[in-house]
């Protein structure tokens, strides 16, 4: 595969703090790899497991688009914007931190672990008014197809009541598109690049996929540039993938 960067699951950064078990596809906190700083505007992809009753105390962020995708259990989010929300498996959460946000995130269960993907994307607009959004996903809509969960600002077209059409996902301040899909074994998937110059980062959540004769296993990541169309095949039953299309160069407006 030309123009690709393969990140096998076992080669990711790893930190185990007891209450938090974190696998990091890109340099983060105590994990530093000069060859894995970011993929274009995709800066962080952490695969986190938080023990019951534990979590992240209040801390600041600014000028970053932060997407959380719970894979198991639920998290309690609280911020200085006045939000106190529970985000659960089958939902996604987005924060445009802009001028600055303080927030905390804790496992909603006192005893059962929670698992989630934490993703950071550099924005294309700086110092915006901070924004929070949380939407449910229709998991049936991602069976044997790709469900769009993230698109660029101004995002999905509004309905008659002014609210976004949630079936198109939510939006961030970046020319980025995220899709989720869960596929039966042998199912073929085509993904067409939305914007010239963007790159595509694949992350296998469950199962395995075949791409150009290569097998991508659970939690493997693969970055691809200069490719207008991808053709994947699900290798195992119930294989689930996250496809993230992001700009490869800084595009701050």
Please say whether the beta carbons of 108 and 33 come within 8 A: no
Count of domains for the chain: 1
Cα–Cα–Cα angle for 16, 67, 201, nearest 5°? 85
253 is a domain residue: no
CATH number, domain of 31, equals 2.60.120.10
Distance CA 88, CA 9 (A): 24
What is the residue range of 142's domain?
4-247
User: What is the pLDDT of the chain when averaged over all its residues?
Assistant: 94
219 is a domain residue: yes
At 166, is the secondary structure helix, strand, or coil? helix
CB-facing half-sphere around the CA of 35: CA atoms within 13 A: 6
pLDDT digits 0-9 by tens, 219-243:
999 999 999 999 999 999 999 999 9
123 is a domain residue: yes
pLDDT of the residue at 2: 57
Q: Give the chain's residues under pLDDT 50.
A: 158-165
252 is a domain residue: no
């Amino acid at each position: 595969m030309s123009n690709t960067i393969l990140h096998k699951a076992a080669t990711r950064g790893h930190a185990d703090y007891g209450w938090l078990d974190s696998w990091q596809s890109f340099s983060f906190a105590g994990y530093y790899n000069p060859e894995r700083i970011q993929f274009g505007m995709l800066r962080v992809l952490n695969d986190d497991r938080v023990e019951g009753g534990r979590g992240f105390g209040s801390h600041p962020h600014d000028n970053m688009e932060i997407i959380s995708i719970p894979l198991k259990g639920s998290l309690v989010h609280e911020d200085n914007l006045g939000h106190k929300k529970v985000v659960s498996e089958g939902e996604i959460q987005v924060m445009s931190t802009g001028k600055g946000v303080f927030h905390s995130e804790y496992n909603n269960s006192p005893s059962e672990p929670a698992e989630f993907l934490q993703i950071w994307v550099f924005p294309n607009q700086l110092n915006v008014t901070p924004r929070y959004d949380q939407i449910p996903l229709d998991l049936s809509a991602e069976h044997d197809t790709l469900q769009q969960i993230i698109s660029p600002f101004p995002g999905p077209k509004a309905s008659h009541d002014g609210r976004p059409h949630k079936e198109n996902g939510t939006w961030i301040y970046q020319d980025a598109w995220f899709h989720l899909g869960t596929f039966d074994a042998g199912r073929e998937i085509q993904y067409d690049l939305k914007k010239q110059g963007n790159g595509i980062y694949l992350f296998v959540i469950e199962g395995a996929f075949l791409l150009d004769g290569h097998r991508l296993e659970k939690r493997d990541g693969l970055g691809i540039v200069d490719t207008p169309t991808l053709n994947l095949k699900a290798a195992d039953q119930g294989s689930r993938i996250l496809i993230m299309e992001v700009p490869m160069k800084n595009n701050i407006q």
